[in-house]
Amino acid sequence: MEMIIGETAKKIRKAVAHAVVGQVETLDLLLVGLFSGGHVLLEDVPGVGKTLLAKALAASIDSSFGRIQCTPDLLPSDVTGTTVYNRKEEKFYFRKGPLFNRLLLVDEINRAIPRTQSALLEAMAEGQVSVDGETRLLDSPFFVIATQNPVESQGTFPLPEAQLDRFLMKVSMGYPAAEEEREIFRLAKRDEVLKEVTPVAEPAEIMAVRKAVRQVHMNEAVEGYLLEVVRQTREMDGVELGVSPRGLIALGLASQALAGIRGREYVIPDDIKELAPHVLSHRLLLTPSVRLDRQSPADLIRELVNRVPVPVEGDGEPVES
């Protein structure tokens, strides 16, 4: 069980490394999202390699790749597709939109109007789209990487909390280290680095990995730790709205995926600690005073997981299995 998860992650890492320098942690978080059936929101400044990473990931799993550049005039039909009349054949046919790709990059999702955002998020939640009264299923696996720029606010439509909750994780790539940036500069001189990324996994293998993730073991003690972390988010000072049961399920499933990626068949508290800031922070609604103090939701979650007692074995060692 854990073998297929860990081996698939290892193959994808190796393939993506032909085009992407560094970003090992970010790639692992994207794999957590892909393997657990969730979607990822990348919040970062332009130019740090979000598009290249998404394309390289799609190429490594032999999947169709689509990209949507969000603007205020982007309509739902521009992403879902539309019914077109063919005069020559005298019949209607459906022209698929970019949503009908297995891996989809949605650039600057907060620049799309709420109607278009809703169309995207409906597809993410249901794995299907409805056009002209007909429901069309999306191919599996279907994985969305959406981005938003945290610096610019003019001309944007921020995602409301209910829609943010649809994302499994919110991740920041950050700037590369000095040596990594040197290697990026050298790599940029080569032509079409993406051609060096060869497919190492089929969509069917990703679906098998998703099935295996749900079989990764979580014992009662670790389950209790997970529940306590989520419950305490609803009692934190400065938090108006804590994490919902959907967030609890998301953190549990993501922890199972991370455990499998790390080569284990069981979840440990450190998996939950590592993922909690990414899975839970965007699900918190902070009070105005905390927002004015510019306190980061991710930092609040890190403080919380460090306060919640970690389950221990009879000899006082942290529980592992």
253-286 pLDDT, tens digit per residue, is: 999 999 999 999 999 999 999 999 999 999 888 7
181-211 pLDDT, tens digit per residue, is: 788 777 776 767 777 888 899 999 999 999 9
Cis preceding-peptide flag for 141 (omega within 30 of 0): yes
pLDDT of residue 153: 66
The whole-angstrom separation of Cα 274 and Cα 258 is 9
Closest CA to 305 of 205, 233, 235, 238: 233
pLDDT of residue 152: 66
pLDDT of residue 315: 42
Closest CA to 218 of 174, 259, 188, 165: 259
**β-sheet bridge partners, residue 41:** 146, 170
The whole-angstrom separation of Cα 197 and Cα 55 is 10
- Supply φ then ψ for residue 289, to 5 degrees: -65, -40
Domain 2-209 has CATH 3.20.20.70: no
Extents of the domains making up the chain: 2-209, 216-307
* Chosen CATH of 216-307 out of 3.40.50.970, 1.10.8.80, 1.20.140.10, 3.30.70.20: 1.10.8.80
The whole-angstrom separation of Cα 271 and Cα 255 is 5
pLDDT of residue 314: 43
pLDDT of residue 209: 96
Which pTM was predicted? 0.88
Closest CA to 20 of 62, 46, 55: 55
Q: Look-up: residue for tokens 């990626």?
A: 261
pLDDT of residue 180: 77
Contacts 24+ apart (CB under 8 A), 126-133: 129/80, 129/81, 129/99, 131/77, 131/80, 131/81, 131/82, 131/83, 131/94, 132/83
Residues of the chain with pLDDT under 50: 314-317
pLDDT of residue 223: 95
